Structure 1
Amino acid sequence: MSGLPSYPFRLNAGSAFSSHKSCIFTVKLSASTKTVCPCQFVLYFSLTINKMNPLTPDLIETVKDFTGFFTELSNALQQPIPDHHLSSTELTVLQAISQQDNCRSSTLIQQLRIDPGYLSRMLKSFEAEQLVSRRKVPNDARTQYIQLTGKGKKLLAVAAEHQDTQVINLLKPVPEARHEHLVHAMHTIQDVFRQKDGNMEPDVQHDIVFRHSLEPGDLGYLIYLHGSVLGPELGYNQTYEPHVIKEFNDFMQTYNPVKDRIWLATYKGQIVGAAAILAQSRHLAQLRWFFVHPEHRGKGVDMHIMQDVLAFCKDKLYQKINMFTTNEQPAMTELLENVGFKKSGEKYTQLFGKYVYEQRFDKDHYWS
């Protein structure tokens, strides 16, 4: 093999292959190789080096730029509280203490990744200012629980109000139409950095945005979901989708935001859950179109929507809520019963090409 021709290639600083200094690669052709194509060579080394180092210069620069931007953003939200000297780090420690019933120093060190000596000095300062107190752990004389005093809780409340004002001022220039996109982007970044394994699925639950405002295209997409997902899932025939279209059309003809409301759960901008309350009379409301996409069931989306529904009905002082479902929707039945609905009627009937038991559920005086 020593007699085979060699081809040196110099890669200059700043090239796609070398980010630090000029270097030389030498390629030796095999006995069966007649020629070497520069394009093939560049492609080969590009793929090889990217496999060795998937963190490309563009990615690194983007992260650095974002980190700088995030630092500026954080500084804008960490303006000192008027008439108080505590730093943002000290407020973070107080906040962490407030969130735990039996807080220990070791827990704070692990959770906040804070230097033990620095934390010890900070806690002594808090005690001197009567912001925290300590009590011994039963059967462990070496360990103490840390808790906020009344003064500490009051300070945190002032700090929370101060930070809320800062966030409101920060978000004022952001159009409302961009709020959902902003929330999704923030959750995506958290998901990416919280994953310890690239194959792990992120926690989707907190990435779902709930709203009760109708936007252009929402009703059309809800009709699509009923026709393409719920209808086939329940075995309904082609008459189901036209029925849904008529129902939503009737809903919009009489929709009154004072008495009626529709709730939507969205994931990455797409609707994955919904429900609606339609006023039937001054004291009676009907729950309609309760739906959660199969890919997002079992994550608490249904209960979140239901709690919002019940809170709205309580605010409007509805004395009774009813909903119609079928015996082929056991998850819906279980949810209704879990929040206090009771089955009040059932009949065997034909619905959209099949026979089912249509069931009525009622919830009475739930707000009292």
Structure 2
Amino acid sequence: MVLEDIDERISIVRHFNRSFTRQIGVLREGLLHSPYTLTEARIIFELAHREQTTASQLGRELGLDPGYLSRILAQLEQRGLTEKRRSDNDGRQYLLSLTAEGREAAQLLDQRSRDEVAEMLNALSEGEQQRLIKAMQDIEGILTKSFKFSEPFFLRPHQPGDMGWVTHRHGVLYAREYGWDERFEALVAQIVAGFVNNYDPAHEHCWIAEMQGEIVGSVFLVRASDSMAKLRLLLVEPNARGLGLGSHLVEACIRFARQHGYQKIQLWTNSVLLAARHIYQKAGFKLVAEEAHHSFGHDLIGETWELVL
């Protein structure tokens, strides 16, 4: 169906918005039978998913007016839900966080939200659930591409053909930059094949980064257990490095893991991958194990990193 009339397109989008709000309960998700307004609930949710942030960062993330946000934060602090401390790196900034009472409130809101979404999904067949999740991912990817102007890149879900790109570019770049042989490319091919064959969209995700019409990066988050996810195959093309894309991809994995109830993220890398190690360390991952191995034609030190959520 091709719609030529812009008014008809606008009408369909507006109708979808009204229907979506009714069916998903977007407004109700912020309240969830709690004493918090929608905006207060959004702030509590966001602070629960961040180790530390400033009011300005929070305002940009949520799209809130600074004055309005300041008043809401003051009210939450008076109610004992949030607290602030001066930054060690910049004395002009204050870092925001939840108090113990605030974390309890966030857990209650999160559980009620999960229960509400689960109730909605349980009313659908398996096929309907898969179609719904895929459609939501497509909508998010399209809107992210269209409206995210703050960075020169955008992230989207994987599409047919992307797994071939991931395998090919890993093989090319790791051979060029580290001298790894084709056995590394074979390993990547096994990982992406396993992801596609066992893909669980309710618990796993792949992000493909595009910039100026070209793919420039990727990362996967896959289910290891009910409580732990694995971050895999982080890659950033040379022409997209230095833009914060690697950190952006890792942060997307962390947000997804927290929103889907994981308690820990684990990843495996090698000591020679200094740029990737720096990104993981900056995101809060801790090195928990090291092991020497001979792979891809080289003697390497494998490393296991973990982030407790």
TM-score when scaled to structure 2? 0.52
**Preserved contact between residue 145 and residue 154 of structure 2 (Cα < 8 Å):** no
Aligned match of 1:337: 281
**Preserved contact between residue 263 and residue 274 of structure 1 (Cα < 8 Å):** yes
**RCO greater where, 1 or 2, for CA within 8 Å and sep 6 or more?**
2
Match of 1:358 among 292, 302, 305: 302
Aligned match of 1:196: none
Q: Does residue 1:275 correspond to 2:215, yes or no?
A: no
Aligned match of 1:65: none
The residue matched to 2:226 in structure 1 has which SS?
coil
Aligned match of 1:226: 170
Match of 1:293 among 233, 237, 257: 237
**Preserved contact between residue 153 and residue 209 of structure 2 (Cα < 8 Å):** yes
Aligned match of 1:254: 198
The residue matched to 1:250 in structure 2 has which SS?
helix
CA distance in 2, matches of 1:181, 1:312: 16
Aligned match of 1:206: 151
The superposition leaves residues 156-198 of structure 1 with CA deviations (integer Å, 9 ceiling, x where unpaired) of xxxxxxxxxxxxxxxxxxx9799589849x97xxxxxxxxxxx
**Preserved contact between residue 216 and residue 237 of structure 2 (Cα < 8 Å):** yes
Q: Does residue 1:266 correspond to 2:210, yes or no?
A: yes
Q: Which runs of 4+ in 1 moved over 6 A?
A: 98-101, 175-178
Unaligned runs of 5+ in 2: 1-63, 68-137
CA distance in 2, matches of 1:181, 1:335: 23
CA distance in 1, matches of 2:233, 2:277: 14
**Quick one: which amino acid aligns to residue 188 of structure 2?**
V
**Preserved contact between residue 229 and residue 265 of structure 2 (Cα < 8 Å):** yes
**Preserved contact between residue 286 and residue 323 of structure 1 (Cα < 8 Å):** yes
CA distance in 2, matches of 1:305, 1:182: 15
Unaligned runs of 5+ in 1: 1-97, 102-174, 188-204
**Preserved contact between residue 344 and residue 360 of structure 1 (Cα < 8 Å):** yes
**Quick one: which amino acid aligns to residue 231 of structure 2?**
L
**Quick one: which amino acid aligns to residue 292 of structure 2?**
Y
Distance 1:177 1:255, change over 3 A: closer
**Quick one: which amino acid aligns to residue 180 of structure 2?**
Y
**Preserved contact between residue 284 and residue 318 of structure 1 (Cα < 8 Å):** yes
The superposition leaves residues 304-337 of structure 1 with CA deviations (integer Å, 9 ceiling, x where unpaired) of 1121111111011111111011110111111111
Aligned match of 1:349: 293
Aligned residues: 176
CA distance in 1, matches of 2:242, 2:198: 33
Percent sequence identity is 24
CA distance in 2, matches of 1:247, 1:284: 17
1:268 deviates by 2.3
Could you say which structure has the larger radius of gyration? 1
Distance 1:183 1:230, change over 3 A: farther
Cα RMSD (Å): 2.8
